[in-house]
Amino acid sequence: MPIIDFTEIPLANSSDGKQDTFELFARDFLAALGFEIEESPSRGADGGKDLVVLEFLSGLIRDDKRKWVVSCKHYAHSGNSIGDKDEIDVMGRVRKFKADGFMAFYSTLPSSGLAQTLNAHKDEATIEVWDNEKIENLLVVNPSLQIIFERYFPKSYKAWRSETKKPVQVFGAYSPLECVVCGEDLLTDRQGNISLVLKADDKENRNYVLDVYWACRTKKCDAIMEGKLSRNLNVITTWISISELATPLMYMRWVGSHLTFLHEGKEIFEDKAFEKFRNAVMCVSQIVVKETTPAQWSMLRFAATLPDFMGGIGSS
């Protein structure tokens, strides 16, 4: 299911003063990716281009640049594809503006006929097609485009952020991970670190964990904790960001590495430190794993009645 609703951008053929919004979106999108805007959108006859942009290329021997003619087509409101009749004389426009390539920037898809036409020109010029899916994929994954995403698609952005940042109820009830300084829940915006306080001079070359804490970065609470601990020459700290741990593979590597160290005797926790670490592992799981379904809860309740079942899920 699409994440971005391109109809949030007004119709291109309206007369309400917002008819240029899709072209402005294309300009800001490409600028955020590093293209230099040589000619911005303008009203009136444009000679077959909506934008002219420059792409700077870095080479081993010398740097170079590529000039693009950009054609914007916003058909999301009708859902129609862009056809051959909508893109007239592609190569003539490339030659007119002395460009090296033609860039199609669409809120839907090119028709099969137009796709064939564009492919036929690849021997004469560089052809690049940005369709709705390709644009969406980059808006979602590229941090430099987040502000563009939010500006032009505020409803889609709000829904996406709510869905991607919402912790799930793994244990039947939500357990926040509160900053040790200000009390803010670190699982909501994920702008915090989990830190292990280690004994600095362990003679057996082990990670001897004296304490575990978590603090936010936005209010500099983590810096406050680091400042306090820096006065003690007998300890050092290691940390990992909660935003990193929200990635399933990173979370599993983090948990797995500590399990390996514990098994090999390379890491030892003091009792209170281990309880804190265990609590952090379980709380962070709420932004990594899937929510427990009613059927799975029934299975767990039955399994808990079995003598060899390891209970205590969600307890601290």
φ, ψ for residue 52 (rounded to 5)? -125, 125
Q: Is the pLDDT of residue 47 over 80?
A: no
Residue 252 CA neighbour count, 13 Å, CB half: 4
Please tell me the predicted confidence (pLDDT) of residue 316.
40
**Cβ atoms within 10 Å, residue 181:** 18
pLDDT band at residue 171 using 50, 70 and 90 as cut-offs: confident
Mean pLDDT over 50-65 rounds to 88
Quick: pLDDT tens for 101-112.
999 999 999 999
Least confident of 19-33, 179-193, 254-268, 280-294: 280-294
Query: Which residue type is seen at 283?
Result: C
pLDDT band at residue 16 using 50, 70 and 90 as cut-offs: confident
CATH 3.40.1350.10 in the chain: give the residue spans: 6-163
Q: Is the pLDDT of residue 232 over 50?
A: yes
Residue with more model confidence, 248 or 304: 248
6-163 belongs to CATH 3.30.465.10: no
Residue with more model confidence, 181 or 164: 181
Mean pLDDT over 103-125 rounds to 96
Report the alpha-carbon distance of residue 238 to residue 103 in Å, rounded.
Answer: 47
Please tell me the predicted confidence (pLDDT) of residue 245.
92
Report the alpha-carbon distance of residue 138 to residue 194 in Å, rounded.
Answer: 29
Least confident of 66-80, 152-166, 193-207: 152-166
Quick: pLDDT tens for 254-280.
999 999 999 999 999 999 999 999 999
Highest mean pLDDT among 4-13, 127-136, 155-164: 127-136
- The mean pLDDT of the chain is 89
Q: For residue 97, give both structure tokens.
A: 């503006």
Please tell me the predicted confidence (pLDDT) of residue 205.
83
Q: Is the pLDDT of residue 14 over 70?
A: yes
pLDDT band at residue 314 using 50, 70 and 90 as cut-offs: very low
Q: Is the pLDDT of residue 182 over 50?
A: yes
In Å, what is the CA distance from 65 to each residue of 30, 35, 100, 124, 300? 15, 10, 9, 17, 61
Q: Is the pLDDT of residue 304 over 60?
A: yes
Q: Is the pLDDT of residue 300 over 80?
A: no
Whether residue 243 contacts residue 191, with contact meaning beta carbons closer than 8 Å, is answered with yes
Please tell me the predicted confidence (pLDDT) of residue 84.
93
Q: Is the pLDDT of residue 156 over 90?
A: yes
**Cβ atoms within 10 Å, residue 245:** 24
pLDDT band at residue 98 using 50, 70 and 90 as cut-offs: very high
Name which of 245, 183, 188, 177 is nearest 219 in CA terms: 183
Please tell me the predicted confidence (pLDDT) of residue 170.
80
